[in-house]
Amino acid sequence: MRANFILREVLNGFRRNVTMTIAMILTTAITLGMFGGGLLVIQMADKSQKIFLDRVEMQFYMNDAVADADPNCKQAPCSTLRTELENAPGVGSVTFITRQEAFEQAKEIFKDNPDIADNIRENTIPASLKVRMSDPDQFGAVLDEFKDRKDMGVDGALDQRELVSRIFSVLDGARNAAFVISLVLAIAAILLIVNTVQIAAYTRRTEVSIMRLVGATRWYTQLPFLLEAVIAALVGSFLAIGGLFLAKVFFFDNALRDLYGVNILARIGVSDVLFVSPWLIIAGILLSGITAYVTLRVYVRE
């Protein structure tokens, strides 16, 4: 098989069907770009989850009677509750926050919002036991066990799992939307590849027939069509990768800067895009190669 003949036929195919080829490249690029965006969101969610699991904590608020009688949690029932929490499976540390410390923390949190800060009064915020987990999988069990221990002075509990759940539901929604859009576009790309291969084969049907009559194999006559689709998909893959780098700079870095700054979401870096890139190239080759091969076997029978 002469390589120069194959290359010449591929170039001729691009020249004869330039508009279809451009459409196929762009559709493939957008399809793989959306797919890559979904993969980046998955990476962000995984890394963000690790951040939250390292930071997530619960607080058990003590009622005023217990806090007034034992302001430093040195006596029962507060000290007993603290000991039980420290011995609970999966607990890393337990910190007692006095009412004064809670007041000062609230002032610090709302220092940029004077309307709220000025309305915070001493002894209005309850003392609490702040629990940080060493094993996040035990979070729910510990919370469920101690949140209703009114016999030990517990007057309520703060559960951050709902906030974490809401954030990750947003990330999951963005990921699923990206994958759904990429699936729809993949169908469009497949139809374009099918049409492009059929049209290319039709325009060269006479020369292909002659080649088959003089002994050329099916692979020899159909390989140029297959390579046209694969090369177009490769170009689309590289365009998609370039689009992901632009999205990192102009969307992820800019739109999510504030969330990055407070360490709510994990940062998408160049390494993340580079990690996703080979999968886009592989997906592009498989999408175009398999579609073109099936099209040639089903619709083109020289």
Condensed to tens digits (0 to 9), the pLDDT of residues 240-261 reads 999 989 888 887 777 666 655 5
**Residue 129, strand partner residues:** 60, 96
Q: How confident is the model at residue 100 (pLDDT cuts 50, 70, 90)?
A: confident
Nearest to 6 by CA among 214, 223, 203, 216: 223
Q: What local confidence, expressed as pLDDT, does residue 239 receive?
A: 92
Q: What local confidence, expressed as pLDDT, does residue 205 receive?
A: 56
Q: For residue 120, how many other CB atoms are within 10 A of its CB? A: 15
Average pLDDT over residues 49-78: 81
Q: What local confidence, expressed as pLDDT, does residue 160 receive?
A: 67
Does the domain made of 57-159 have the CATH classification 3.90.1150.10?
A: no
Q: End-to-end distance of the chain based on CA atoms, in angstroms?
A: 18
For residue 123, what is the DSSP state? T
Average pLDDT, the chain: 77
Q: What local confidence, expressed as pLDDT, does residue 140 receive?
A: 80
Condensed to tens digits (0 to 9), the pLDDT of residues 197-243 reads 777 666 665 555 555 555 555 655 567 777 777 888 888 899 999 99
Question: d(Cα 290, Cα 302) in Å, to the nearest integer?
Answer: 19
Q: How confident is the model at residue 28 (pLDDT cuts 50, 70, 90)?
A: confident
Q: What local confidence, expressed as pLDDT, does residue 228 receive?
A: 78
pLDDT above 90 covers a percentage of the chain that reads 3
Cβ(302)–Cβ(219) below 8 Å: no
Question: d(Cα 50, Cα 136) in Å, to the nearest integer?
Answer: 10
Quick check: 271 pLDDT over 60? Answer: yes
Condensed to tens digits (0 to 9), the pLDDT of residues 132-153 reads 887 777 878 888 888 888 888 8
For the range 163-167, what are the long-range contacts, defined as Cβ-Cβ under 8 Å and sequence gap of 24 or more?
A: 164/52, 164/56, 167/48, 167/52, 167/264, 167/265
- Show me where the domains of the chain are located: 3-52+164-299, 57-159
H or E segment and range at residue 157: strand 154-159
**Residue 156, strand partner residues:** 61
